[in-house]
Structure 1
Amino acid sequence: MSDVKIYITDCDHDNINEETKVFKEAGIDFELVQCHTEEDLINTLQDATAVCNQYAPFTEKVFAALPKLKTVVRYGVGVDNVDLKAASAHGVTVCNVPDYGTNEVADHGIALLLELVRKVGQANNDVQAGIWDYARYIPVRRMSTLTVGIIGLGRIGSAFAKRAHAFGCKVIAYDIDYTHAKADSELSFVELKDSMDEVLASSDVISLHCSLNESNAHFMNAQNFAKMKQGSFFVNVSRGGLVNEADLAQAVKSGHLSAAGIDVTCTEPLDANSPLRGCKNIVITPHMAWYAVEAASDLKTKCAQEAVRGAKGEPLRCPVNKI
């Protein structure tokens, strides 16, 4: 297929072994480049039919300058670095890989929740420093007494719900679309609510599992944190941009929230001047929830396979926009 070429626009993985295998088996020419700006993409991708993309920005300007491009496949679930409206206007289908790390992200969310409730990390640090005193961590809640409220009951939210239920937690949820949840017979234990406010007010734990878009950016702000129960917990393993970080820091510092566990921040790596830095009772991990050896391999393989389908004009598995 000499007239077809796939580019990996940017990639910080250790290797592209899985992608190379997929592209060679398909008989498609490919190239790894490292684009960071609009100009990089425009100058490099003039003969691109399909691309695998990690962080490089696909904007109106980029799409307008790449008439041969037909498919953009993002490494991961989120597509917030791609202008979907511009892609559709220029006849480019944007795809993601929504199912490569579902279990890993759900596991990590539960790990953060357990850390907030059981305070294992704090206890270990104290013991290593010569302090042996469980009373320093009082109060510690019984997991089975907690009501866990989930905002976003898609693949990952559903997996998180099942894990929380296994600990005996009551699970309630809000989503703008319950199609997925209602089709899953294993989620019959979840109480589906008509409003997010009801979930915020009734939960001991709020866990975010929704994508980021223009309509929900920073929706977890001072107003919504104030709706949460006094002493409740907050978990975010989805997107940092969903949260007003200054308001989160204040909610924890004031004691209105007992603690927060987050894997994602508005700016990554975390800015040196972030209001989250140094906040007692805020646990932060470096956007690692998605990762397991197996998940990373699945991501690379599925991304490459979708790019091949796009390059060949075959039906795509996970398009996120309409043309």
Structure 2
Amino acid sequence: MAKFHVLLTDYAWEELEIEKQVLADNDVELIVATAKDEDSLAALAKQHQVDAIMTNWAQVTEKVISASPNVKIVARLGIGLDNIDMAYCTSKGILVTNTPDYCLTEVAEHTLALLFACARKVAMYHHDTMSGKYDLTAGPIMRRMEGQTLGIVGLGNIGMLLAQKAKCLGLNVVATSRSGKTMDGVETVDLDTLLAKSDYVSLLIPATPETKKSFGAEQFQKMKPTAYLINTARGAIVDHDALAAALEAGQLAGAALDVQDPEPCDLTIAPYNDPRVIVTPHAAFVSVESLENMRGRVSQQVVDCLQGKTPENVRNGLTVG
């Protein structure tokens, strides 16, 4: 019998060889959940009295965590921590970790891909031609991307990489920065200025109680009617009812949403069924390289904690011992 037991609440890849190998080499058994609702996860944690929890997108609540008093770490397979009860973990001395840098390149690339798709009407033309419509003049007019302005809401690690890549394409870049970060060649402005100047608005801020639905009717009214919204951060940041209304009113030209709220979203309703909106299934983080990096590192975070060492990327300020 293994010395330690780890509950894996959910995962978004095809197999678990990396996780199983890292954990098994260190006398840790992986318990894989088959349902990710709160009651099922709590029951599984209690049944196996797990020592750690690894989670992708499932909600890891106080009920789930407290089901096993042995839990020493909750490790997020990803970046955002909005699915973990951080306050409860901290109050009980339970470490919370993530991998904040594993998919910087992928998210920046996906954001640029969506920007290109909006600017050059790639998705719209593809939809039309697959429906038997071949019309160059359909949809909004196209402008040269070079010389247009990309506004980045959140000049963090991903935002800075996106800005670097965008500048290489000849885009002007402005950004907001809550942390005060600056970057050569990027003008730091307030949000209202960014919205007024930008042809493409990229959201790259975390989902917190303060940012939930922070992008709504007021913000859309301040955007150019020719501008596009691109969200590769978190779906909860955007008020999607307000986005649907803004599109209907012609307050912006379109949107590209890699993240939605909830996920999966109802693709039969606005704004998701609007032909001016591109939807991808929370895919920005994915590549062979990013997943291998993240899965191995998170597994090692768990091993380090269980072996009495403080792992990398502890997000709630705690240490082992």
Normalising by structure 1, we get a TM-score of 0.91
Query: Superposition pairs for residues 125-136 of structure 1, below 5 Å?
Result: 125-128=127-130, 131-136=133-138
Give the C-alpha shift of residue 218 in structure 1: 0.4
Question: Counterpart of 1:45 in 2: which secondary structure?
Answer: helix
Q: State the partner residue of 2:285.
A: 290
Amino acid at match of 1:70: K
Q: Is the 8 A contact 1:6 1:311 kept in 2?
A: no
Q: Which residue of 2 aligns with 1:30?
A: 30
Please list every run of 5 or more consecutive structure 1 residues that lacks an aligned counterpart in the other structure: none
Cα separation, 1, equivalents of 2:289 and 2:253 = 34
Identity %: 31
Counterpart in the other structure of 1:301 = 296
SS of the equivalent of 1:268 reads coil
Look up the match of 2:311: 316
Higher helix share: 1
5 Å matches for 1:1-323? 3-46=3-46, 47-128=49-130, 131-178=133-180, 181-182=181-182, 187-193=183-189, 195-271=190-266, 274-323=269-318
Structure 2 letter corresponding to 1:197: D
Question: Per-residue CA shift, 1:248-293, capped at 9, x if unaligned?
Answer: 1121222110111111110111125542232121111111111112
Paired with 2:67 and 2:239, the residues of 1 have a C-alpha distance of 35
| Displacement after TM superposition at 1:300 (Å) | 1.6
Output the CA distance in 1 between the equivalents of 2:138 and 2:19.
50
Q: 1:126 to 1:65 in 2, by over 3 A?
A: closer
Question: What is the Cα-based RMSD across aligned positions, in Å?
Answer: 2.0
- TM-score of the superposition, structure 2-length normalised? 0.91
Q: Deviations over 1:104-134 (max 9, x none)?
A: 1111111111111101232234445555442
Which protein, 1 or 2, shows the higher relative CO under an 8 Å CA cutoff with sep ≥ 6?
Answer: 1
- Matched to 1:99, the amino acid is D
Quote the Cα distance in structure 2 between the aligned partners of 1:132 and 1:37.
46
Unaligned runs of 5+ in 2: none
Q: Is the 8 A contact 2:9 2:32 kept in 1?
A: yes
- 1:218 and 1:138 map into 2 onto residues whose CA distance is 28
**Which is further off, 159-168 or 3-12?**
3-12
148-157 vs 308-317, which deviates more? 308-317
